[in-house]
Amino acid sequence: MERKITSRSTAIVPVHLYGLPAEMSSISRLAREHGLNVIEDAAQALGAEYLGKRIGSLSEATCFSFYGVKNITTGEGGMITTNDGELAERLRSVRVHGEERPYWATRLGHNYRMTEISAAIGIAQLRKLPGFLERRRRNARYISGRLSGLRKLETPVEPKDRKHAWHLYTVRLRGANAGKRNSVVKRLRAKNIEASVYYETPVHLQPFYRRLGIPYRRDLLETERAARQVFSLPVHPSVTEDDLDEVAVTLEKILAK
Ligand SMILES: Cc1ncc(COP(=O)(O)O)c(C=O)c1O
């Protein structure tokens, strides 16, 4: 990250992928040293913690998503948290056509308002969040225990200094190529188990970014390898221990072949 910082850099945007917080201490230190802002992508990390602090309380701005599949949902929508009062005012203004007060536009803005109906759903969902998180956590712990004997499979790790929000429970097939991983997922799905591959094509290989003409060097080999080897298993709040037993037994059979 440090090597990528130039005089044109303004912010670092760490992504708390799958709901596991990124290593925020070193990211914050780097940002301070280089005079950069930190904007956290916590779309998947509502309820996660870093060094005992909730994600959303660490940086200038943290963005959450309430899209349908997230830990809580308002159908569509999201939230930005900040401890900076001035930034909060600016964001409120940009949300409503750049208005500083009604019908008084002082900056470029957009219509980014959340509907009242979505907000009402969000408030009800927030109350349910602790229960949702607990069930996700319990499911993740249970399936990790059930899969611990499978040598071909790496299960996700929750470092001691962080609390995972378990939006996605993503495992990695050791040494696999994409063909093998896809066939494992296909066989799980054939047994009605909702295994999924997220982010089959990493950002730097997406057609849009390739078209931008960013010189492509093969320097993200680990990203490309991970994209070929990972897949996710269901741990959402409606999944039961019986379901997870079935996932474990089926996966064990598939990997034994
Ligand atoms: C890591 C991550 N960032 C950003 C987003 C975008 O959120 P939204 O769809 O609410 O704009 C999502 C999910 O959709 C996500 O998973």
Q: Where along the chain do its domains lie?
A: 2-118, 130-256
Domain 2-118 and domain 130-256, same fold? Reply is no
Residues 6+ apart with CB under 8 A from 254: 184, 187, 188
Residue 255 has pLDDT above 90, yes or no: yes
CATH number of 130-256: 3.90.1150.10
User: Which of the four pLDDT bands, split at 50, 70 and 90, describes residue 213?
Assistant: confident
Q: Is the CB of 1 under 6 A from ligand 1?
A: no
Average pLDDT on 150-156 reads 95
Do 148 and 155 contact (CB within 8 A), yes or no? Answer: yes
Average pLDDT on 81-106 reads 96
Distance 43 CA to ligand 1 centre (A): 5
pLDDT at residue 257, as a whole number: 79
Q: Is the CB of 114 under 6 A from ligand 1?
A: no
User: Which of the four pLDDT bands, split at 50, 70 and 90, describes residue 204?
Assistant: confident
Distance 143 CA to ligand 1 centre (A): 26
Distance CA 114, CA 130 (A): 23
Distance 77 CA to ligand 1 centre (A): 10
Q: What percent of the chain has pLDDT over 90?
A: 91
Residue 217 has pLDDT above 80, yes or no: no
Mean per-residue pLDDT over the chain, rounded: 95
Is domain 2-118 classified as CATH 3.50.50.100?
Answer: no
pLDDT at residue 210, as a whole number: 84
Distance CA 63, CA 54 (A): 13
